[in-house]
Structure 1
Amino acid sequence: MNFQRLSSPVANMQNHYEVIVIGSGYGAGIAASRLSRAGKKVCLLEKGKEFLPGEYPSTTGDAMKEMQFNTPDGRIGPNNGLFEFHLNNDMSVYKGCGLGGTSLVNANVSLIPEPRVLEKDNWPEAIRKDPDSYWRNVDRARHMLQPNQYPEGKNGYPKLPKSEAMKLSAKGMGKDFRYLDINVTFENRRNNAGVDQYKCELCGDCMTGCNYGAKNTTLMNYLPDARNHGAEIYTGVGIQYISKNADGKWVVHYLIENAESNKFDAPDLFVTADMVIIGAGALGSTEIMLRSKEKGLTASDMVGERFTGNGDVLGFGYNCDVQVNTVGFGHHKVGEIPPVGPCITSVIDLREQPTLEDGMVIEDGNVPGPLASTITASMATISKIFGSEPAESLSEKMQRKLREAESLIRGPYHGAMNNTQAFLVMTHDDGKGKMVLEKDRLKILWPGVGKEGIFQKVDKNLRAATEAIGGEYVVNPTWTKVMDYDLITVHPLGGCIMGDDATKGAVNHKGEVFSGTTGTDVHKGLYVCDGSIVPLPLGVNPLITISALAERCCEIIAQDYGLTINYDYKDFAVQGETLKPGIQFTETMKGYFSTAEKSDFEKGKDLGRSAGSLFDFTLTVTSNDVETMLKDPQHQATLAGIVKAPVLSQSPLTITNGIFNLFVNADTEIPTKLMNYRMNIHSEEGKDYYFYGFKQIRDDKGFDLWKDTCTLYITVHEGTDEASPVLGKGILVIETADFAKQLTTMKVLNAASKMQELRVMTDFGKYFSGSLYDIYIKPHF
């Protein structure tokens, strides 16, 4: 496989862009692509990491390392783990966190809602009166996402047991079966973004990440298209809130997820833009908007309202009379186990009911391979508690027990578990959920949602689908009396819904954020563009509708700003980044600085102390290629972080173009090495400064190793480079407690194994200690 990495090191980020896009899924990825094509300088910021095919978890252990659980009381797991669970009493959510958003871990289904859904008065009048604007942009989205049906019997693709089981369920229910349009590639080809993709291997691991490059996520199309048209992409950037500065520029406040700057109580970093498009998903965008409101951004009271789980229900036909091939490959190689198929391939369509809200779709599913080691015992236990055994003879019951025993002994690729059908249903809940911030954490409130009458109808249909294949129906354990009928959704929508004015929505039909609690005035240049703007449950998988709305939003932005989006295809060769083992640590230094002294560091420190002129920074030092760093005489790494200096600005200042040099030789009579810090500093008010600092490592009288390595002599220039006039001087130091924290932030990046990680850390340690030995010890022998 030859997939190119799209993201760049965070230290490359500049202080201002024409457009900042937050997120990277079907809303944000599309916005980045289209506005880059329109000639705008775009910066895309994603909280999660970048995974290429082959890097997604394939074992239970690897999957557990990527699970994050957000609860009202706190978080368990990594801040930007790939699999993100938001747990609440009424409605919980599963979503993806990575470059590509939830498209990385969804089931790829492109299904258009019933026309009646788009006719509901929940939508703004502009959409209801111009449905062509929706359909035109559905076509644009389909062109990039390239959905198609499973090609049964073509190009060597066999009948799939789980689809055959769905045919039996449909027949038993007296309903029609059909294959769905899914965003999956079934032949080796170059796609419409110039990315070479590979055919689906039927592994069934769509929902833990496609390791074969066959799944048409935004990482395979819109995001490389954005990169090819000049967009900069940064991962590991957690957006906190949005504000506006005195110059009318948008300020995006963020933190670097893996830098651990919170250990030093460092303030958020920031970057400014003329336009900001929030596309962090229904939960992420709503959380950013709620926090922005708390920080002073004026907005509609509808922010957080009209959340919907899209009527999602998960159920199982356990231990059926037919083989299903339920569990994906995981770590198994192609051919070691029978084909499973894409996560979802087919549907029993129960829409077109006299009452729209009674309609639903039942889709097949499967369990991804990385969860294989946990699923057999779990399902056997759950079936005992929450299952409904079919009426059957004694011999049939014995066969069922034997299949269950076989699964428990031989594993999930045999017996009862291998004969289990997963069902995913979408229907219409009442869409009256609410999202709020409590203790600065997002919480979903929706009392009684699982007791709505529609879910009893879903339950009845799933029992019928299971009965047709001779299985034991097992409900989702959360949708039970003992759990007060709580639900979980994989299709969260709403929270920043569209409306004709601020009393009906958080944004208008263009996605522009309303600037008050009433009326139609908007914040110019601030948009929300993702599933959070959808104002009602769609009753089907929402990805193609979210994509069409995002395409429509970009189309209108181009019209409003006099831009032209060139939709023509060009066969680009994607130019990506190559990752090598690196090293990273975060350090805080504190001290005093004075603008009254231009030449003497000690005087600058003393004058700064007398005037109470504090100066401190928290910087993350990163080398993305530690081998080259250690060999290169300049021993160069990058710097990213934040500065606090009230004499420069009352607000924290962010840095760009940060360069760090470790132990470079100084041209002095006494053997001396320097640690250099160079960076541009930017205030929220738009003022630019240039910072140069150095630590002087040399063997003076007495034991001064600690002092030398922890003392930084700083100069600030009033301009953008070292040639600009000197503004002032000072001295910063590392305090003992902060040094102890710094040691805990030291980590190896991009290591392929624990052995390589240890080797990189050892090489760095040897170089560091060897350099100190050369200065302080060697001259005395």
Structure 2
Amino acid sequence: MNFKRLSSPIGDIKNHYDVVVIGSGYGASIAASRLSRGGKKVCLLERGKEFLPGEYPRTNVQALKEMQFSTKGKHIGSKTGLYDFHMNDDISVFKGCGLGGTSLVNANVSLVPEKRVLEHAEWPTAIRQDPDSYWRNIARAKHMLQPNPYPEGQNGWPKLPKAEAMKKSAAGMGQTAKYLDINVTFKDGKNNAGQDQYECKLCGDCMTGCNYGAKNTTLMNYLPDAKNHGAEIFTEVSVKYISRGANGKWSVHYKIQTANSEIFGAPELFVTADIVVIGAGSLGSTEILLRSKERGLTTSNKVGERFTGNGDVLGFGYNCDERVNTVGFGPHAPGSLDPVGPCITSVIDLREQPVLEAGIVIEDGNVPGAVAPAITPSMLAISKLFGKEHADGIVDFAKKKARELDSMVRGPHHGAVEHTQAFLVMAHDDGNGKMSLEDDHLKITWKGVGKQPIFTDVDKKLREATEAIGGEYVVNPTWTKLLNYDLMTVHPLGGCVMGDDAEKGVVNHKGEVFSSNTGTEVHKGLYISDGAIIPLPLGVNPLITISALAERSCELMAADYGFTIDYSYKDVVLPNNERKPGIQFTETMKGYFSTNETASFDIGEKLGKESGSAFEFTLTVTSNDVETMLKDKNHKAQLEGVVKAPALSSKPLTISDGVFNLFVDEVADVPTKLMKYSMLMHSEECKNYYFYGYKVVRDDKGFDMWKDTCTLFITVHDGNDETSPVLGKGILVIETADFAKQMTTMKVLHAKSKIEEVKIMAQFGKYFSGSLFDIYVKSKLPSF
């Protein structure tokens, strides 16, 4: 498969861009693609990791490692876990965390809302009065995402049991089922973004990540297109809040997910931009805006309101008479099991009701193979607790019990689980959920949401669909009296909704953020582009509407800022960005520095201490290729981090172009090595300073190894490089407590196995200790 990594090491980030895009789902990736095509220098920040096809979990153990849960101020699991669950008392959310956002783990259904939804008064007037702009951008989004129905019967594509079961369910309800437009590739070749893709293997593992390059996630189209047009993409970067400086530039404050800088109490890093597009999803974008508001950004008071779960309901037709074949392949190779098909293929469309809010859609689904081992005992238990057994006589009853035993003995690809249909429903809830911050963590409240009448109606329809195929309807176990009818949604919308003014919404029809509680004034250059801006439940899968609104926003942005978006085709040609094993650690050094001394480090430290001119940094040292680093005579790694120096700025400074050199030989009378630090420092006032520091490692009288490795002599230049005038000097040290913390941050990056991880750590430790041995021990040994 011809896929290359799109992300760059965070040490490559610049201090300023024309545009910073936050997130990488539909809204964010479209902004990055289109604005890059418009000639803008774009930086995209994604909090999750980058996965290539072939790297997604296939087994239960692998999937568990990629699960993270946020609940009541606590976080469980990796902060970059692909499967992101946000748990709340009333409604919980499942979303994706990775380069590509939730597109990596959704069913990729492109279904346009009913016309009455788009005419609803909740939409801004400009959108309702210009429907052509919506449909024009629907076409643009479809051109890139390439939705198409499953091609049953064409070129040998087989019938799918779960789709056949849906047809029988529909017939039993007096309805029809039809294939949906899904963003899945069914023929090898280049897509409309110029990226190679491969035909679907019908493995059914869409929702744990497509390992075959067939699913048209944003990682397959808009993101490589953005990279191909010059965008710089950085992963494992968590944006905390946005602020605006006196110079009018936007500052995007972030943390590096792998750096563990929080254990040192370090402030966030930041990057500045003329334009910021927040596309972190309904929850992420709302959280960033709420946190920004707490820190002084003026916005509408509507931030966090009108959250909707899009009427989502998940249910199961358990142990049906029909063989549904609903469990994905997981670790099994294509061809070793009967075809399952893409996650969702067909729909029973029950919209166009006399009352809009009564309309629903019922779609088939399936269980990814990576989580299938937990399904058999779970379904059996849930069916006994919450199901109602359906059997036509003793023979049918015996068959059902035999199938249950078969699943228990031979696993989920057999018996009752193999005869289980998964249903995903979208409907119209009242859209009155609320998001807020509690102890700096996002919380969703929506009292009684699961008791709304629409969910009782959905329950009845799913029972009808299940009865038609002879199954036992099993409701989502959270939607029960026992658990107060709580809900789970995979389509969170709202929180920063569109409106004609700040009294009705958070952004205008372009996605620009309102700058006060009333009126139509906006923060120039601050946009939101994702599901957060959608002002009501759509009643269908929302991705194509989110995409159309993002395309429309970029179109209007180009007109407002006077640039042209080039929509022409261009093959994706990317450099080979192979990821090699590396090593990383974070350190804090503290001391004093004076702008009144430009020659002596000791005097600079003394004057700085007397005047209270402290200097402190927290820097993450990253080698993205540890083998090359250790062989190279300069032993070069990257630095990224933040500096606190009140003499330079009242606010923390961020850095760029950071270089760390480990144990570089120095010409001297006695064996000497230097540890060098060089970097550009940037204040929020857009002032630049060049920093150079070094540690001298040599054997002087007494035991001085600790002092040598923990003392840094620093020089600050008033400008962009070492030729700029010296502004001041000083000395920094590593405190014992901070050194202990530093040791906990040492980690190996991108190792293929635990064995390789241990090997690389040992290799680095051998080099480090060997260099100290050469200086402090070997130099004293007699020569023979």
**Shorter-chain TM-score range:** over 0.9
Report if the CA contact (8 A) 2:59-2:370 is conserved: yes
Q: Measure, in 1, the Cα distance between the counterparts of 2:372 and 2:303.
A: 40
Question: Aligned residue for 1:464?
Answer: 464
SS in 2 for 1:39: coil
The one-letter amino acid of 1:548's match is A
Report if the CA contact (8 A) 1:194-1:574 is conserved: no
String of CA shifts for 1:616-658, please: whole Å, max 9, x gaps: 1000000110010011111100000000011111100000000
Q: Measure, in 1, the Cα distance between the counterparts of 2:438 and 2:17.
A: 32
SS in 1 for 2:275: strand
SS in 1 for 2:423: strand
Structure 1 residue 398: Cα displacement = 1.1
Question: Aligned residue for 2:661?
Answer: 661
Q: Measure, in 2, the Cα distance between the counterparts of 1:280 and 1:577.
A: 25
String of CA shifts for 1:108-156, please: whole Å, max 9, x gaps: 1000011110000000000000000000000000000001111112233
Spell out the pairing of 1:130-529 with structure 2 (5 A cutoff).
Answer: 130-529=130-529
SS in 1 for 2:488: strand
Question: Aligned residue for 2:551?
Answer: 551
Q: Measure, in 2, the Cα distance between the counterparts of 1:779 and 1:287.
A: 57
Report if the CA contact (8 A) 2:224-2:572 is conserved: no
Report if the CA contact (8 A) 1:436-1:443 is conserved: yes
Q: Measure, in 2, the Cα distance between the counterparts of 1:694 and 1:747.
A: 23
SS in 1 for 2:26: coil
Structure 1 residue 572: Cα displacement = 3.0
The one-letter amino acid of 2:88's match is N
Question: Aligned residue for 2:70?
Answer: 70
User: Normalising to structure 1: TM-score of the pair?
Assistant: 0.99
Structure 2: which 5+ runs fail to align? none
String of CA shifts for 1:40-90, please: whole Å, max 9, x gaps: 111111111100001111111111111110112311111121111010011
Structure 1 residue 394: Cα displacement = 1.3
Q: Measure, in 1, the Cα distance between the counterparts of 2:438 and 2:150.
A: 45
Q: Measure, in 2, the Cα distance between the counterparts of 1:624 and 1:687.
A: 29
Spell out the pairing of 1:577-592 with structure 2 (5 A cutoff).
Answer: 577-592=577-592
List 4+ stretches of structure 1 deviating above 6 A: none
Question: Aligned residue for 2:35?
Answer: 35
String of CA shifts for 1:289-336, please: whole Å, max 9, x gaps: 101110000000111010000000000000111111121111111122
Report if the CA contact (8 A) 1:327-1:372 is conserved: yes
Structure 1 residue 678: Cα displacement = 0.4
Structure 1: which 5+ runs fail to align? none
Report if the CA contact (8 A) 2:103-2:217 is conserved: yes
Question: Aligned residue for 1:646?
Answer: 646
Question: Aligned residue for 2:625?
Answer: 625
The one-letter amino acid of 2:529's match is C
Q: Measure, in 2, the Cα distance between the counterparts of 1:157 and 1:738.
A: 61
The one-letter amino acid of 2:534's match is V
SS in 2 for 1:109: coil
The one-letter amino acid of 2:41's match is K
Question: Aligned residue for 2:113?
Answer: 113
Q: Measure, in 1, the Cα distance between the counterparts of 2:625 and 2:19.
A: 30
Q: Measure, in 1, the Cα distance between the counterparts of 2:657 and 2:186.
A: 44
Structure 1 residue 603: Cα displacement = 1.0
SS in 2 for 1:388: coil
Structure 1 residue 612: Cα displacement = 1.1
Report if the CA contact (8 A) 1:315-1:423 is conserved: yes
Q: Measure, in 1, the Cα distance between the counterparts of 2:741 and 2:156.
A: 57
String of CA shifts for 1:423-447, please: whole Å, max 9, x gaps: 0000100111110111111011100
SS in 2 for 1:243: strand
Question: Aligned residue for 1:671?
Answer: 671
Q: Measure, in 1, the Cα distance between the counterparts of 2:662 and 2:266.
A: 23
Q: Measure, in 2, the Cα distance between the counterparts of 1:219 and 1:63.
A: 20
Q: Measure, in 2, the Cα distance between the counterparts of 1:553 and 1:722.
A: 43
Q: Measure, in 2, the Cα distance between the counterparts of 1:199 and 1:773.
A: 57
Report if the CA contact (8 A) 1:608-1:614 is conserved: yes
The one-letter amino acid of 1:644's match is K
Structure 1 residue 606: Cα displacement = 1.0
Question: Aligned residue for 2:89?
Answer: 89
Report if the CA contact (8 A) 2:204-2:368 is conserved: yes
SS in 1 for 2:45: strand
Q: Measure, in 2, the Cα distance between the counterparts of 1:336 and 1:694.
A: 60
Question: Aligned residue for 1:594?
Answer: 594
Question: Aligned residue for 2:735?
Answer: 735
String of CA shifts for 1:374-428, please: whole Å, max 9, x gaps: 1110111011001111142111111111100110111001000111000000010
Count of matched residue positions in the alignment of Structure 1 and Structure 2: 781
Question: Aligned residue for 1:751?
Answer: 751
SS in 2 for 1:27: helix
Spell out the pairing of 1:644-723 with structure 2 (5 A cutoff).
Answer: 644-723=644-723
String of CA shifts for 1:169-228, please: whole Å, max 9, x gaps: 111111011000000001111111221111110111111100001000000000010011
* Of 570-579 and 408-417, the range deviating more from structure 2: 570-579
SS in 2 for 1:437: strand
SS in 1 for 2:714: strand
Report if the CA contact (8 A) 2:106-2:206 is conserved: yes
Report if the CA contact (8 A) 1:22-1:44 is conserved: yes
Identity %: 71
Q: Measure, in 1, the Cα distance between the counterparts of 2:586 and 2:715.
A: 21
SS in 1 for 2:721: coil
Report if the CA contact (8 A) 1:605-1:730 is conserved: yes
Q: Measure, in 2, the Cα distance between the counterparts of 1:548 and 1:114.
A: 15
Report if the CA contact (8 A) 2:671-2:779 is conserved: no
Task: Find out whether 1:761 has 2:777 as its counterpart.
Answer: no
The one-letter amino acid of 1:258's match is T
SS in 2 for 1:44: strand
Q: Measure, in 1, the Cα distance between the counterparts of 2:151 and 2:746.
A: 50
SS in 2 for 1:285: helix
Q: Measure, in 2, the Cα distance between the counterparts of 1:422 and 1:713.
A: 64
Q: Measure, in 1, the Cα distance between the counterparts of 2:260 and 2:764.
A: 20
Structure 1 residue 669: Cα displacement = 1.6
Q: Measure, in 2, the Cα distance between the counterparts of 1:214 and 1:522.
A: 41
The one-letter amino acid of 2:472's match is E
Structure 1 residue 576: Cα displacement = 4.7
Report if the CA contact (8 A) 1:228-1:575 is conserved: no
String of CA shifts for 1:643-676, please: whole Å, max 9, x gaps: 0011111100000000000011011121101110
String of CA shifts for 1:265-305, please: whole Å, max 9, x gaps: 00011111111010000000000010111000000011101
The one-letter amino acid of 1:674's match is L
Question: Aligned residue for 1:614?
Answer: 614
Report if the CA contact (8 A) 1:6-1:576 is conserved: no
SS in 1 for 2:126: helix
Report if the CA contact (8 A) 1:195-1:574 is conserved: no
String of CA shifts for 1:460-495, please: whole Å, max 9, x gaps: 100000001110000000000001101010000000
Structure 1 residue 557: Cα displacement = 0.3
* Of 544-553 and 320-329, the range deviating more from structure 2: 320-329
Question: Aligned residue for 1:569?
Answer: 569
The one-letter amino acid of 1:503's match is E
The one-letter amino acid of 1:179's match is Y
Report if the CA contact (8 A) 2:315-2:424 is conserved: yes
Report if the CA contact (8 A) 1:598-1:728 is conserved: yes
SS in 2 for 1:95: strand
Q: Measure, in 1, the Cα distance between the counterparts of 2:575 and 2:27.
A: 23
String of CA shifts for 1:5-57, please: whole Å, max 9, x gaps: 00001111111111110000000000000000001111111111100001111
Q: Measure, in 2, the Cα distance between the counterparts of 1:609 and 1:154.
A: 79
The one-letter amino acid of 1:268's match is E
SS in 1 for 2:348: strand
